[in-house]
Chain A
Amino acid sequence: MTSASMTSSDESALPTSSDARPEKRVLHLRVNGSDHVVAARPYALLLDVLREDLALVGTKRGCDMGTCGCCNVLIDGKSVMSCLVLAHEASGKNIETIEGLAFEGAELHPLSAAWAECGGSQCGFCTPGFIVTCHELLAEEQAPSRQRIAEAISGNVCRCTGYKKILDAVEVAAARMRAAPRHETDARSAAL
Chain B
Amino acid sequence: MILPPFELHQPSTLDEAMATAQKLRDEGMTFDYMAGGTDVLPNYKNRLNARRQVIGLGGVAELTSIDDTSIGALARIDDVARDERVLALWPTLAKAAGLIASPPLRRLGTVGGNLLLDTRCYYFNQSEFWRASKGYCLKADGDVCLVVPQKETCYATYSGDLAPILLVHDAELEFRSPDSGRRVKLRDFFAYDGTRRFEKAADEVLVRIHVEPTALATDYLKLRARDTIEYPVMGVAMGVATKDGLVTDLRVAVTGSEAVPLYYGDLGLMGAAVDASTADRVHEALLDRIQCYRNVPFPPGYRKAMGAEFGRSLFLQLTGQQA
Q: Taking beta carbons and an 8 Å cutoff, which residues of A are in contact with B? A: 1-2, 6-10, 12-16, 20-22, 41-43, 45, 48, 64-67, 69, 72, 78-81, 83-86, 88-89, 133, 151-156
Q: For residue B141, which residues in chain A have a CB less than 8 angstroms away from its CB?
A: 1-2, 7-9
- Bound-state Cα–Cα, A67 to B50, Å: 21
Instruction: Tell me, yes or no, whether B294 is within 8 Å of chain A by CB.
Output: no
- Bound-state Cα–Cα, A21 to B140, Å: 23
Instruction: Tell me, yes or no, whether B5 is within 8 Å of chain A by CB.
Output: yes
Chain A residue nearest to B36 in the complex (CB): A84
Beyond A10-B52, A13-B4, A43-B54: 18 further Cβ-contacts under 8 Å? A1-B141, A7-B49, A7-B139, A8-B49, A8-B140, A13-B51, A21-B5, A43-B3, A43-B5, A45-B2, A48-B2, A66-B108, A69-B102, A78-B78, A84-B42, A86-B37, A133-B104, A155-B228
Using known A-B contacts A10-B52, A72-B104, determine if residue A45 contacts B10 with beta carbons closer than 8 Å: no
- Bound-state Cα–Cα, A9 to B3, Å: 12
Q: Give residues of chain B (245-290) contacting chain A, Cβ–Cβ below 8 Å.
A: none
Cβ–Cβ contact A80 & B52, under 8 A: no
- Bound-state Cα–Cα, A181 to B226, Å: 36
Q: For residue A152, which residues in chain B have a CB less than 8 angstroms away from its CB?
A: 103
- In angstroms, how far is the closest chain B Cβ from the Cβ of A20? 7
Q: For residue A9, which residues in chain B have a CB less than 8 angstroms away from its CB?
A: 4, 47-51, 140-141
Cβ–Cβ contact B50 & A81, under 8 A: no
- In angstroms, how far is the closest chain B Cβ from the Cβ of A92? 9
Cβ–Cβ contact A84 & B30, under 8 A: no
Chain B residue nearest to A78 in the complex (CB): B107
Cβ–Cβ contact A13 & B139, under 8 A: no
- In angstroms, how far is the closest chain B Cβ from the Cβ of A155? 3
Q: Give residues of chain B (100-123) contacting chain A, Cβ–Cβ below 8 Å.
A: 101-105, 107-108
- In angstroms, how far is the closest chain A Cβ from the Cβ of B110? 13
What total of chain B residues lie within 8 Å of the partner, measured CB to CB? 44
Q: For residue B48, which residues in chain A have a CB less than 8 angstroms away from its CB?
A: 9
Q: Which of B49, B56, B108 meets A6, CB within 8 Å?
A: B49
Q: Give residues of chain B (2-45) contacting chain A, Cβ–Cβ below 8 Å.
A: 2-8, 10, 30, 37-38, 41-42, 44-45
Q: For residue B108, which residues in chain A have a CB less than 8 angstroms away from its CB?
A: 66, 80-81, 84-85
Cβ–Cβ contact A10 & B2, under 8 A: no
Q: Taking beta carbons and an 8 Å cutoff, which residues of B are in contact with A? A: 1-8, 10, 30, 37-38, 41-42, 44-45, 47-52, 54, 56, 58-59, 78, 101-105, 107-108, 138-143, 195, 227-229
Q: For residue B140, which residues in chain A have a CB less than 8 angstroms away from its CB?
A: 7-9
Instruction: Name which of B4, B49, B103, B227 has the most chain A CB atoms within 10 A of its CB.
Output: B103
Q: Which of B59, B107, B143, B228 meets A154, CB within 8 Å?
A: B228
Q: For residue B6, which residues in chain A have a CB less than 8 angstroms away from its CB?
A: 13, 22, 42-43
- In angstroms, how far is the closest chain B Cβ from the Cβ of A86? 6
Cβ–Cβ contact A151 & B103, under 8 A: yes
Cβ–Cβ contact B8 & A16, under 8 A: no
- Bound-state Cα–Cα, A20 to B52, Å: 11
- Bound-state Cα–Cα, A30 to B54, Å: 24
Q: For residue A83, which residues in chain B have a CB less than 8 angstroms away from its CB?
A: 1
Q: For residue B102, which residues in chain A have a CB less than 8 angstroms away from its CB?
A: 69, 154-155
Cβ–Cβ contact B3 & A45, under 8 A: yes
Q: List 29 A-B pairs, Cβ < 8 Å.
A: A2-B142, A7-B139, A9-B47, A9-B49, A9-B140, A12-B52, A13-B6, A13-B44, A14-B4, A15-B4, A20-B5, A22-B5, A43-B5, A45-B41, A64-B1, A65-B45, A66-B104, A80-B107, A85-B37, A88-B10, A89-B10, A133-B104, A153-B103, A154-B102, A154-B227, A155-B103, A155-B105, A155-B228, A156-B104
- In angstroms, how far is the closest chain A Cβ from the Cβ of B294? 21
- In angstroms, how far is the closest chain A Cβ from the Cβ of B159? 14
Q: For residue B56, which residues in chain A have a CB less than 8 angstroms away from its CB?
A: 86, 88-89
Q: Which of B1, B38, B50, B59 meets A13, CB within 8 Å?
A: B50
Using known A-B contacts A42-B8, A88-B10, determine if residue A81 contacts B105 with beta carbons closer than 8 Å: yes
Q: Which of B4, B47, B195, B229 meets A155, CB within 8 Å?
A: B229
Q: Which of A2, A12, A15, A81 meets B104, CB within 8 Å?
A: A81
Chain A residue nearest to B8 in the complex (CB): A42
Q: For residue B105, which residues in chain A have a CB less than 8 angstroms away from its CB?
A: 66, 81, 84, 155
- Bound-state Cα–Cα, A49 to B221, Å: 40
Chain A residue nearest to B226 in the complex (CB): A154
Q: Which of A15, A21, A48, A133 meets B103, CB within 8 Å?
A: A133
